[in-house]
Amino acid sequence: MTTGRLIQVGEPTKNNDQDVSVEQLLLGFVQCLLAEQGFSAKHATKDEESEDLRRSGWHGEFPA
């Protein structure tokens, strides 16, 4: 039924006061879907990622 364990039992809670951005949630979603396909992400540089992000039309808000 499930495609993967959500939380390793005993995984400590992060005490991170900073709220996560929508972009991180979206990225997490995409990475998990890719992992379900058996795909491990290629290592892109920060510049490559920024360029990919710009080209994708994502500017930190849900596009109109």
Partner 1 sequence: MSAFAESQSKLKPMSCLVIQLSDTGDTIRDLMALKAAKQLYPGLELHFVVKEESASAVKRVSWINQVHVLPYRRMLAPVLRGEVSECGVLGDFARWIKPLVQSRWDFVVNWSYSEASSYLAALIPAKVKLGYSRRKDLTACCADDWSLYVQTIANENVEQNIHMTDILTTQLLTELQINAGDPVEVDNAPVTSKNFFELELGERDEIDDRLRSSKRWIGIHLGADKHGSSWSADGWTRLASQILSKNDECNIVLLGDRCDVSAAQRFQEYLRELVPGGDETASRIISLVGKTDFDLLASVIGRCSWLISENHTAIQLACVLGTRVLVIVRDTNGNNWFSNGPYGNHHIVVETQQAEPDAVYAAWSYIPFQESSGGFRTLETHFAELNCSHLLETMSVFKSRIRPVADGGGVVYESLLAKPLSLKEWSATVMGQVARLWYCGWVFPVGFEIERKRINSLLLKDLRKLKDKINILLNLCIQAEQTSKSLSLLATGLRSDRIMSVDDRAKVSEFGNKLKELDGSIKEIGESTDPLKAFSMMSQVMMHHLKGKKLSELADDSARAYQRLAAGVRVMKDWLDHTLTLAKPVALKKAPVMELHP
Query: Taking a C-beta distance cutoff of 8 angstroms, is the pair 37, 3 a contact?
Result: no
Q: Does 12 bind partner 1 (CB under 8 A)?
A: yes
Q: Does 47 bind partner 1 (CB under 8 A)?
A: no
Q: Which amino acid is at 52?
A: D
CA angle 30-13-42, nearest 5°? Answer: 30
How many residues can be counted in the chain?
Answer: 64
Q: Does 30 bind partner 1 (CB under 8 A)?
A: yes
Number of residues in contact with partner 1 under rule CB under 8 A? 50
Residues engaged in binding partner 1 (CB under 8 A): 1-7, 9-20, 22-37, 39, 41-42, 44, 48-50, 52-53, 55-58, 62-63
